[in-house]
Amino acid sequence: MNRRVIIALVALLGFGAARLPVELKLEREQRAARFHGVALDLSLREKLGQMGFLAALSGFRSLVADALWIHASTVWERTDWGAMKVDFDAVTTLQPRCAMFWDMAGWHMYANASIAAYEDTRQPREALRLKAQRDYWKLGEDYLLRGIANNPENATLHINLGTLYKDRFQDHCKAAEVYARGAAVPDAPLYAHRFAAYELARCPGHEREAYEKLLALYHKGEDERLPTLLKLLGELQEKLNVPAAQKVDIPPPKP
């Protein structure tokens, strides 16, 4: 083995030894940040370009993510939903623990993009517009689900996903389940429990369970006796044939 080869091998070993602590530290940070399978891989390299990818590898993930978020706002003004999704995918990959990125990405897809797809006059067939609209709902759902996977303690993501199931998909059973999970998160807003009970009341086969939950809310006091609760409680009392002596007195709606 000649002298040059020996020098090259020593240099390579020295570089590897110097790099190992850095790689181990980066791996620990990624695990601590709960990346849940999110990785700085070749797909991200294609989205960011060489300079952006190198910046992300160099510890500037936050800076690159912010720049891409600003760019996403620019393409939003052009209603370029495909380009927005590319930016959102990169941003959420770079900063998976920022719940706001997941939340806003989901909202842009299931609200803005879906409405634009349905109102697209270039597509004369309503069936295809409805399909495109639903596809954007699914994209919004995917962002929220992955956002929850990376930020399980964030009540807002759960609640917004529940609202997506309720208002867009009209899936009240899923909405009730997601609202209930959100209500169990520490510091969740009080209305999350209420929304979970409301949606359960609209979920076929769960009438008795929903009635018990609504009744418990009713007995908490006047602050819970809102028009929606009273309406649903009255409907369930009739559907379940609750004896008259056990019925809650539901006042007629105000004119």
Q: Say yes or no to pLDDT of 57 above 50.
A: no
How confident is the prediction for the chain on average, in pLDDT?
82
Say if CB 165 and CB 175 are below 8 A apart: yes
Q: Compute the distance between CA of residue 164 and CA of residue 151 in angstroms, rounded to an integer.
A: 18
Q: Which residue has tokens 């409907």?
A: 235
pTM confidence score = 0.77
Lowest mean pLDDT among 14-23, 67-76, 164-173: 14-23
Please report the pLDDT score of residue 79 as a whole number.
83
**CA angle, 107 as apex, 122 and 162 as ends, to 5°?**
120
State the DSSP string of 1-36. --HHHHHHHHHHHHHHHHHHHHHHHHHHHHHHTT-T
Q: Say yes or no to pLDDT of 52 above 80.
A: no
User: Mind listing the pLDDT tens digit for each residue in 92-122?
Assistant: 988 889 999 999 999 999 999 999 999 999 9
Please report the pLDDT score of residue 28 as a whole number.
52
User: Mind listing the pLDDT tens digit for each residue in 138-182?
Assistant: 999 999 999 999 999 999 999 999 999 999 999 999 999 999 999
- Return the CA Rg of the chain: 26
Q: Compute the distance between CA of residue 137 and CA of residue 113 in angstroms, rounded to an integer.
A: 9
Q: Say yes or no to pLDDT of 133 above 80.
A: yes
Lowest mean pLDDT among 2-6, 150-154, 227-231: 2-6
Say if CB 144 and CB 160 are below 8 A apart: yes
Please report the pLDDT score of residue 73 as a whole number.
80
User: pLDDT band for position 60 (50/70/90)?
Assistant: low
Taken in order 219, 220, 221, 227, the sign of the CA dihedral is negative
Who has greater pLDDT, 49 or 234? 234
User: Mind listing the pLDDT tens digit for each residue in 191-225?
Assistant: 999 999 999 999 999 999 999 999 999 999 999 99
User: pLDDT band for position 4 (50/70/90)?
Assistant: low
Who has greater pLDDT, 94 or 227? 227
Q: Compute the distance between CA of residue 139 and CA of residue 44 in angstroms, rounded to an integer.
A: 18
